[in-house]
Structure 1
């Protein structure tokens, strides 16, 4: 893994601060302290990592000091960007004019950065970008349109758009497990388990005229299903801190909950005159940092 990250640092071309276009989102960084159930955030430390009128979103840490995210250039082309918290530099992992890369993350094997790619013919499939910079590889040629995904055992659990949307796990070619339908956009493997977790849009409760979706789990190894309480009303984005604790956000507020508890604990509020509505989040235990995507006002 150390070799992977060195290659990324040496080989990626410069991001060079291009002006982005499309969708008003920026990435904000917040310092944290403590671990797991004792995690605290320090809202007074929050700052904008990106500050453009367009799109920077979908953050994901790939190692102890680097993060990838999706960003758009001036022609509304979305590329994979790497940010190094040690060097404070942005670099392009992709620079494509005929396709858009979204939802980048590192694969289980550590040899690729994966992304959902909107191709020239409008197909939307998962591609793998080798860290040795050989040409990108299509993962599943017959599964699309993919919206979101996560990894277990070097295979993808995928949110496939349709009517209804479905969540499938590709156990092998022509061997798909259909986990559920009517799922929200966050698909996350529960750490140190074989569980794929998601919010069900078919199971919800109404809170203050908004829907709070039920968090569900499917164990790839055993086939067992479980329910872990409700998410926050009006929110579709969650992450696992570890095997036991979850984070969600509502507006500019960030909440924490143990998966067996019913109530969400308010951790803090990011104060901003320019940004609102936290959505995607990424947490680094190594750096004691939380990165959140926020909408420009």
Structure 2
């Protein structure tokens, strides 16, 4: 339990209490109506008391991975199938795993995902696993403590490394060409394939938060958009549209229109949630996943686990 709470404190940046926050993962359909983006009603895919967080879609856009801290106080990676609405536990280890992300690969390559593992000595390093959560392999031996990461391609990734200050690394998967690109950044790091750029958040001299980006070839920061004062998390759609939530409202930004202003998409509070944080978009752009705290009490842990069997 100590290792789990230490990892949660580092990743979430909040004071640790006896329990981590009760957060759930929700999914909603995304669709286009002319120039408008529409988000349908959300489904609570975890629906239990406890910490469920960090959603990431698989390439088929039919399943997503997420982190769940169970009754055993261990953080493990779970998978949710959007069609069957069934959950499956992928990792069952003495360690804790967080921040699952699919590793890009060719069409013939077997699917693997990466995750931050809190090892028995409390080291936080990046590991990979097969599609069933087995065959663990250490990816970056010397880079630690890793908090978050995002893959550029099968050979390169960006990694958030905890410290004072935190650092953002562009590094090859074999540990070479480690280039520190930024310092003192926020917890949301994203890769946009269509823009060929990665994004993250920083604060300016007035402590205002901004979403900024860098191209791979240069470390020059470009301001993309002002970020919400209460939420640093954002995500890119496949077409390059930027999404975030402001005051629990999903908003989008298209630079070529309306002067790049944020445009409201959906009031997520209609789904009886509050404190919306992390968001993710499927590869086909048709699904949104987000993390929030339910307004109504969740079902007991044991009941939720029985449904997942």
Which band: TM-score by shorter chain?
A: 0.7 to 0.9
Instruction: Compare 284-293 and 247-256 and name the one that shifted more.
Output: 284-293
Question: SS at 2:189's partner residue?
Answer: strand
The aligned residue for residue 31 of structure 1 is 29
Question: SS at 1:185's partner residue?
Answer: coil
The aligned residue for residue 101 of structure 1 is 97
Q: Residue 192 of structure 2 is aligned with which of 179, 186, 190?
A: 190
CA distance in 2, matches of 1:233, 1:147: 22
The aligned residue for residue 66 of structure 2 is 69
After superposition, the Cα gap between the structure-2 partners of 1:70 and 1:295, relative to the gap in structure 1 and judged at 3 Å, is same
TM-score by structure 1 length? 0.82
Quote the offset at 1:57 in angstroms: 0.8
> 2:45, 2:80 within 8 Å by CA — same for their partners in 1?
no
After superposition, the Cα gap between the structure-2 partners of 1:23 and 1:75, relative to the gap in structure 1 and judged at 3 Å, is farther
CA distance in 2, matches of 1:30, 1:234: 22
CA distance in 1, matches of 2:278, 2:209: 16
> 1:37, 1:258 within 8 Å by CA — same for their partners in 2?
no
Q: How does 1:4-15 map to 2 (within 5 A)?
A: none
Quote the offset at 1:93 in angstroms: 1.3
The aligned residue for residue 169 of structure 2 is 168
> 1:111, 1:131 within 8 Å by CA — same for their partners in 2?
yes
CA distance in 1, matches of 2:30, 2:205: 31
Count matched residues: 268
Quote the offset at 1:124 in angstroms: 0.7
Instruction: Compare 216-225 and 62-71 and name the one that shifted more.
Output: 216-225
After superposition, the Cα gap between the structure-2 partners of 1:29 and 1:111, relative to the gap in structure 1 and judged at 3 Å, is closer
> Which structure features the higher share of strand residues?
1
Could you list the per-position Cα deviations for residues 237-276 of structure 1 after superposition, in whole angstroms to 9, with x for gaps in the alignment? Answer: 0000134311111332111112464421111212358531
The aligned residue for residue 124 of structure 2 is 124
Q: Does 1:245 align with 2:241?
A: yes
CA distance in 1, matches of 2:226, 2:71: 39
Could you list the per-position Cα deviations for residues 159-189 of structure 1 after superposition, in whole angstroms to 9, with x for gaps in the alignment? Answer: 1010001101113535211110011001101
Question: SS at 1:140's partner residue?
Answer: coil
Could you list the per-position Cα deviations for residues 133-166 of structure 1 after superposition, in whole angstroms to 9, with x for gaps in the alignment? Answer: 6520011111111111101122221110100011
> 1:160, 1:167 within 8 Å by CA — same for their partners in 2?
yes
After superposition, the Cα gap between the structure-2 partners of 1:40 and 1:296, relative to the gap in structure 1 and judged at 3 Å, is closer
CA distance in 1, matches of 2:117, 2:34: 33
The aligned residue for residue 56 of structure 1 is 52
Unaligned 5+ residue runs, structure 2?
1-18, 296-309
> 2:245, 2:277 within 8 Å by CA — same for their partners in 1?
yes
TM-score by structure 2 length? 0.79
The aligned residue for residue 142 of structure 2 is 142
Question: SS at 2:277's partner residue?
Answer: strand
> 2:24, 2:52 within 8 Å by CA — same for their partners in 1?
yes
CA distance in 2, matches of 1:174, 1:283: 30
> Which structure features the higher share of helix residues?
2
> 2:235, 2:243 within 8 Å by CA — same for their partners in 1?
yes
Question: SS at 1:278's partner residue?
Answer: coil
After superposition, the Cα gap between the structure-2 partners of 1:278 and 1:36, relative to the gap in structure 1 and judged at 3 Å, is farther
The aligned residue for residue 276 of structure 1 is 274
Question: SS at 1:268's partner residue?
Answer: strand
CA distance in 2, matches of 1:107, 1:36: 34
Unaligned 5+ residue runs, structure 1?
1-20, 206-210
